[in-house]
Chain A
């Protein structure tokens, strides 16, 4: 199994530009999570999906952030417009339902200048 696949690994963009992060979960996993990690705040949950349906997006910082999961094998996290304070590492993780641990992707390091 290739694990959770995220792209791109690194993204540098200018303030105001649109950024799209991509994630392919492990086949058969029915839950997908987007987290953001910074030194100050640690790992913060942004949004999660069960069976492709968004369940809780209360962690999304503001309306500039949106996420979709059009099918079981693909999810996107979009930031529009991006701001310097969005600079962080964004992780996607997937799991089976039932309280199991997550498998994380390699992350996307986003820098907004």
Chain B
């Protein structure tokens, strides 16, 4: 069974703080990793992708990947109330570069308090 696990939250952080979201996955052969943001009543929106071990930064967002630990994280610096949403971790659990489907975690609900 291919699984992606996330803490459901809610995770509450004050405005301006760093929010840290975590995700573990079951398939050691996974190649591609994504973070999606989903506002209430809206569709998931891709915000970060990461394919290699280490950190990848994009504006206030940093994705971190540790394949040996099967662990992915997303850091949001200078959190804003507009960052309040559910964050979904998604993992491509197929070997190779083929377009096998993403497996999604159930998401972590983030609340940024002004």
Q: Which of A42, A91, A99, A104 contacts B99 (CB 8 A)?
A: A99
**Residue of B at shortest CB range from A95?**
B99
Q: What's the Cα separation between A103 and B90 when bound, in Å?
A: 13
Please state if B104 and A42 are interface contacts (CB–CB under 8 Å).
yes
Please state if A102 and B102 are interface contacts (CB–CB under 8 Å).
yes
Q: What's the Cα separation between A99 and B36 when bound, in Å?
A: 15
Does B64 touch A at the CB level, under 8 Å?
Answer: no
Known A95-B99, A97-B99, A99-B32: A42·B106 in contact at CB below 8 Å:
yes
The residues in B between 86 and 110 inclusive whose CB is less than 8 angstroms from any CB of A are 88, 90, 92, 97-99, 101-107
Please state if B101 and A48 are interface contacts (CB–CB under 8 Å).
yes
Min C-beta distance of B100 to chain A, whole Å: 8
Does B22 touch A at the CB level, under 8 Å?
Answer: no
Q: What's the Cα separation between A43 and B106 when bound, in Å?
A: 7
Q: What's the Cα separation between A30 and B45 when bound, in Å?
A: 19
Instruction: Give the residues in chain A near B103, CB-CB below 8 Å.
Output: 45
Please state if B107 and A42 are interface contacts (CB–CB under 8 Å).
yes
Known A42-B104, A42-B107, A43-B88: A101·B46 in contact at CB below 8 Å:
yes
Does A56 touch B at the CB level, under 8 Å?
Answer: yes
Please state if B43 and A91 are interface contacts (CB–CB under 8 Å).
yes
Does B34 touch A at the CB level, under 8 Å?
Answer: yes
Interchain Cβ contacts under 8 Å between A and B, 20 examples: A42-B88, A42-B105, A45-B101, A95-B99, A97-B98, A99-B31, A99-B32, A99-B51, A99-B97, A99-B99, A100-B32, A100-B49, A100-B99, A101-B90, A102-B102, A103-B46, A104-B43, A104-B45, A105-B43, A106-B42
Residues of chain A at the chain B interface (Cβ within 8 Å): 30-31, 33, 35, 41-43, 45, 48, 50, 56, 91, 95-107
